Structure 1
Amino acid sequence: MASCIFCEILSGWSAASIIYRDDTCTALLTIEPVNEGHALVIPNAHHVNIFDLPPSTAGHMFKVAQQIAKSYGNTDIRCDGVNIVMCNGAAASQTVFHAHIHVNPRHVGDGFSWNLPPGFDDPANRDELNRVAAKLALVLGAAS
């Protein structure tokens, strides 16, 4: 495996501002915060992304992300809302290939923008939605 900054942090080779740790995951403040308190929840074992992350680990990581989100209200960190995001794969803007969840406190006027493409908020065609839903439902084993 090539060098992984999160594995280096977990092994103590690199510094981090850790806010939570248990047997499954660790949460730390990112060195590239969107806002004060922007945290990352990472599994203690190396997993590249959601596609190879055990479901029990993923579930636990999201539970910890929720706890972090709730904790902002008990601090003086400005927080009118929270983005919880996981980028999986280079096409989805993943740049560190060790699974991680961003927990980003947001506040009105913070200047953050998603840069969504024109037309993203136009209602989708229902027939097209149903066609795609049928494909996914078939694979997932759900009733369509």
Structure 2
Amino acid sequence: MAGPPRLPETMSEGECVFCAIGAGRAPAAFVHEDDEFVGIVDLRPVTTGHLLVLPRDHHADLASLPAEAGARMFGIAQRLAAALRRTDLRCEGINLFLADGRAAGQEILHVHLHVIPRHAEDGFVLSADWRVRDREELAKVAAKVKAAL
């Protein structure tokens, strides 16, 4: 039996793996590095070329990430998406995906943005109830969101 995955020797028990990657204490295949962010190849890619953009500093969710840093994270993702299109990797489209909270599918509680190259036969599907809603329902939702701003 293989047992649980082993931590890199330089990473401490309970440490956030993305913090360890950002600090150089855990391995990753880097595509972008600066003082504030890293871009890495996803260990469990949806498609070949699936990348992650993550802040070096720990921010569990999007709300805890400063707005300027969030804008910068999306800017880096935009540059990486353009780079993917220039490679010979299969990339007929791109999804940017950010799961914010466990209910949204966030598995590692360190905010990160997926840059996923897409093609017609890749099998990646987001399924939902896409039916059109009535205007009254939309107005009520809009009012709640505006009130919370």
- Normalising by structure 1, we get a TM-score of 0.90
The residue number in structure 2 matching 1:22 is: 34
Which residue, out of 5, 15, 18, partners 1:6?
Answer: 18
* Aligned twin of 1:48: 60
Q: Say which of 99, 109, 124 aligns to 2:111.
A: 99
| Secondary structure at the counterpart of residue 94 of structure 2 | strand
State how far apart, in whole Å, the 1-side matches of 2:141 and 2:123 are: 34
Shift of 1:104: 0.2
Q: Which amino acid aligns with 1:129?
A: L
Q: Which runs of 5+ in 1 are unaligned?
A: none
Root mean square deviation of aligned Cα? 1.3
Answering whether residue 121 of structure 2 is matched by residue 112 of structure 1, we say no
1:123 CA drift (Å): 0.6
**Alignment match of 1:126 (pick from 130, 135, 138):** 135
Q: Give % identity.
A: 38
1:77-113 deviation per Cα after TM superposition (whole angstroms, max 9, x unaligned): 1111111011111111100011100000001111111
Structure 2 residue 46 is the aligned partner of structure 1 residue 37: no
Give the conservation status (yes or no) of the 8 Å contact 2:23–2:56.
no
2:70 counterpart (44, 58, 82): 58
Match of 1:84 in 2: 96
Separation in 1, partners of 2:54, 2:88 = 25
CA distance in 2, matches of 1:11, 1:62: 21
Summarize deviations over 1:31-88 as a string: whole Å, max 9, x none. 0001111000000111101010011111000000000111112110111111101111
Give, in angstroms, the shift of residue 134 of structure 1: 1.1
8 Å contact kept, 1:24–1:60 = no
Cα shift readout 1:10-47 (whole Å, capped 9, x = no counterpart): 22221100000112210000100011110000001111
Instruction: State the AA in 1 paired with 2:55.
Output: P
Contact 1:78–1:105 (8 Å) recurs in 2: yes
Aligned counterpart in structure 2 of residue 70 of structure 1, from 79, 82, 92: 82
Q: d(CA) in 2 for partners of 1:68 and 1:104?
A: 10
**Which consecutive aligned stretches of 4+ in structure 1 deviate over 2 angstroms post-superposition?**
none
